[in-house]
Amino acid sequence: MTIIDTDRTLGEIVTDHPGAISVFERLGIDYCCHGARSLNEAAAAAGLDAGAVMDDVISADEKAAGDIVSDRRPAYADMGPAELVDHIEGTHHAYLHAELPRLIDLTAKIAAVHGDSHPELIEVAVTVVELHDDLEPHMAKEEMILFPMIRSLAAGEGEEVPSHCGSVGHPIARMMQEHEATGEILEKLRRLTNDYKVPDDGCGSYHAAFQGLEAVERDTHLHIHKENNVLFPAALALVEDPMEG
């Protein structure tokens, strides 16, 4: 029987057991921005039993694996830093660049149609613009500054960085701070939408908007996890031991 050490961090558990994502999302356990906490710590903070959470994670992970009990590490977990940077840009950044403008238009549309009976939609539409305006410059800084630094380190070329950035640790710390702000915006959207529940009078566009926003939330949580808990530690290790590249 699979056993998960409840002293392991949330980030480690998600990386080794992808089924944990659905469990942590359902329970409201932050595995991305606060992925350095142990399962014991996170469960205690949420008033949950760590053993019961562990059992749920094992069940979900085994179901996702087709009932084959094994270490189901996803492909990104074994990527080198340069490959992981390419993966994040091509997968998560590309998705957000395309999806956020669509959701801005869609939430503005349902706010205009349903705003009188559901005034919270006005704030939802404003908050989606806020999310876009938070993430676009964040991703630009990663694409133009941090990720090239990481590629350079992985290639053994040293830290070729703009003079104002300092060591790679400085932009990493900044990106992690910005991830916290992104997480707060996502939490706000979940509150405003009542956990993305569409009212009985919701039209097709209403459903599409809420489904799209919830998908962005899930994808961004995984996106931040890959950076905070996998990519950034690997990049910092390259600075500490260049031979790791």
Question: Do residues 42 and 34 touch, judged by C-beta distance below 8 A?
Answer: yes
Question: Do residues 6 and 43 touch, judged by C-beta distance below 8 A?
Answer: yes
**What span, in angstroms and rounded, lies between the C-alpha atoms of 102 and 228?**
27
Distances (CA, A) of 119 to 89, 103, 110, 112, 210: 36, 18, 11, 10, 15
What is the reported pLDDT for 68? 42
Domain boundary assignment for the chain: 10-73, 76-244
* Residue for token pair 């979900």: 60
Question: Do residues 14 and 24 touch, judged by C-beta distance below 8 A?
Answer: yes
What is the reported pLDDT for 239? 84
pTM here is 0.88
**What span, in angstroms and rounded, lies between the C-alpha atoms of 232 and 33?**
12
Spell out, as residue ranges, where the chain has pLDDT lower than 70. 1-2, 64-72, 157-166, 241-245
* Residue for token pair 């956990």: 195
pLDDT digits (tens, 9 = 90+) for 185-199: 999 999 999 999 999
